[in-house]
Chain A
Amino acid sequence: MKRTGLLLLVLCLIPSANFDAQSALWASTEVVEFSQQSLRQRYYQLIQELRCPKCQNQNLADSNAPISADMKAQIQRMLEDQKSDRQIKEHLVSRYSEFILYRPEVNQNTWFLWFAPVCFVLLGGLVIWRQYYSGRRSNRLQTQQPPQLSAEQRRRLSELLDPSEDKP
């Protein structure tokens, strides 16, 4: 049982690890000059996390829309200006709205998005636990405690079970 759980966990993690490696590969086909190597890494991280506002469901790394090119150039400029990732995102969000964040901030509009999955898992866990628990309890009731019969019921039972009273 434990081993199966571990296996499931590993299986769940494989696609995400694979995805990261792949998108890094796509991104690295572009030639962008940076003064420091660390900026390049942050650049790739940002253009993978930010969404193209013109195209449906493509990140900036993946998109060749003119607006994505502008946004990538702006990100590059701001990185060279020693702006933080947060400042860059705020700069873009103030113009293109939260739509462009593939990983939205936790706020009034997005709390449900962030916390609903956890709530659903907890709720599901609760249901399973209750089912399991009540199932076990009723099992125990059945096996360990024989039903209590009244005197009338006993009499009727012995009547039914007594072969001498059978009338063919």
Chain B
Amino acid sequence: MKYLSEFRDGRRARMLAAEIGRIVTRPWSIMEVCGGQTHSIIRNGIDQLLPNGVEMIHGPGCPVCVTPLEVIDKALAIAALRNVIFCSFGDMLRVPGSRDDLFKVKGAGADVRVVYSPLDALKIARDNPAREVVFLAIGFETTAPANAMAVKLAKQQSLENFSMLVSHVLVPPAIEAIMNAPGNRVQAFLAAGHVCCVTGYASYPSIASRYRVPIVVTGFEPLDILEGIRRVVRQLELGEARVENAYERVVTEAGNVAAQKVLREVFAETDRTWRGIGTIPRSGWRLSDAYLDFDAEHRFDVADITTHESPLCRSGDVLKGAIKPHDCAAFGKECTPRSPLGATMVSSEGACAAYFNYGRFSRSER
């Protein structure tokens, strides 16, 4: 595919890696915020090309992993209601709630449907006027414009049987939370390219200067990721802490202005609990007051939820970069992709699942 295959060239990847090796003089810890980048790093083995000492820490940028347990439990409760068609991205179906996951609820008789786009959920609502159609609106800033448009169209078209269970999360507050965390080891960030498509990166320079941390907006293909790493290493070696854009073909400083306008209309900032991490102030979006009628939490009585997280699971420490997945005692034992204790073992881009699926061999080899 154009704009993908050119950025996967093996020879150039090795040259970029060699260039990183040439400029690096001491160990550095770099966090890729985005789970999609984690996936690409493990899937392609990019970390294996890096010189010793350049360590990638896998960040919390996987919506499947950080969606709070309470929201999963609410989703399960709503999905189990009679007359509800519950729509979700495929990623969320195996995420464990306190007791069940959506697959199990579906198996027990709930009408749970996988959609590719929130517009598909809207169509299901149009086609089933007598049923309540609920969409699980999760994701970062990348996914938010799509979900916002779905609810905006629902309002325009007076689709009263459509509602959304919203749990959007935002990247910049998470970066700050990581930098503020005691024992933080992260010295530089690869910022998530597709989030920046929407938001731009105008909010990053203040973070870079406040925490003295280089931030490079980075794409997802092997060459993009290596170029992002090369640029942060260069800054680290020079003692700089700037914002750079290594994904210029896709990201502009201003981002997608049309999308931002709709986001401001449909969503409002809110404190958000990140699964495994805790509550981060103003780190999420909820539906704005103008759209509260479409909020599934208001429409269905699911306030009375008590959550239960596995005491063994250390996914929070993994998401903060404090430990590697295999440092967790439950990794590969009580916790596997087949019976995950935490969400990081569920999503294919969750750090634990990525390590379990792709990382075993490279670790044993070393």
Same complex origin of A and B = no
**A residues near B, CB below 8 A?**
none
